[in-house]
Amino acid sequence: MADSIRIIFPQIPFVIATFSFATVIVLLEILIPYNKYVKILKYLSLSLYAYIATAIIVGGNWNQILVASLFPHIEPTSSFIMMFGAMFGATISPYLFFWQASGEDEESVAKHKIKEIGNGRPKVTKKEIKLMRADTIIGIGFSQFVAWTIIITPVGTLHAKGIIDIQTADQAAKALEPLVNGFSNAGLISKAIFALGIIGIGFMAIPVLAGSSAYAISDVFGLK
């Protein structure tokens, strides 16, 4: 997030940007009530559209992209296996299970179905089960679509130009700027959108990771 804000405002020192983001996130998570903070996180999820916009701006051979997406190239190499593992690790994240299960319990308490988490079995209707299933399917489907746009953006720009040594998000965003043709200032726009997307996702993801860790620890030790 600090790297990304410096893409837009390079005069901001890295240490100050990092400390500022950390301070703001901690204060928001502590001071804002959960029911209000959830609404903020919900709207922050709109920042995911930044990656979709970037993919559209940078373009590429869409016929080739669609064919390669349906029939992926597979290599029996260690680097490919590492990438394959990273993809599954980012998709099937264990913290999501803690967050969703504990979140459903909290809603049951709020709706007076049970007195407290872990005490009693709430009555769940078939309609509620269907809504949970639809919620999960839509959420996972959308996340996979966004992941797909994140993948095709560097494929159509950086990899196509032979730029394969990208270590940070800062380098990726800067590399996008000179590679776009056909739009005036499209490289600058795509770079800014990419950076803002990382910042928005950071504000959304870090509290979720922290909250999920808290859920997991409290469940293990029977704490509230």
Q: Please tell me the predicted confidence (pLDDT) of residue 182.
A: 46
Identify the domain containing residue 141 by its residue range.
2-221
pTM of full prediction above 0.85? no
How many CA within 13 A on the CB side of residue 94?
Answer: 3
Beta bridge pairs of residue 54: none
- Residue 172 CB contacts under 8 Å (≥ 6 apart), including other chains: 154, 158, 166, 194
Mean predicted confidence (pLDDT) in 61-88: 84
If one counts the domains in the chain, the total is 1
pLDDT at 184: 47
Instruction: In whole angstroms, give the CA distance from residue 141 to residue 33.
Output: 29
Task: Name residue 119's beta-bridge partners.
Answer: 116
Residue 36, both tokens: 């209000």
Q: What is the mean pLDDT of the chain?
A: 79
* Structural contact between residues 209 and 25, judged by C-beta atoms closer than 8 angstroms: no
Residue keyed to tokens 């967050």: 99
Least confident of 47-56, 69-78, 96-105, 211-220: 96-105
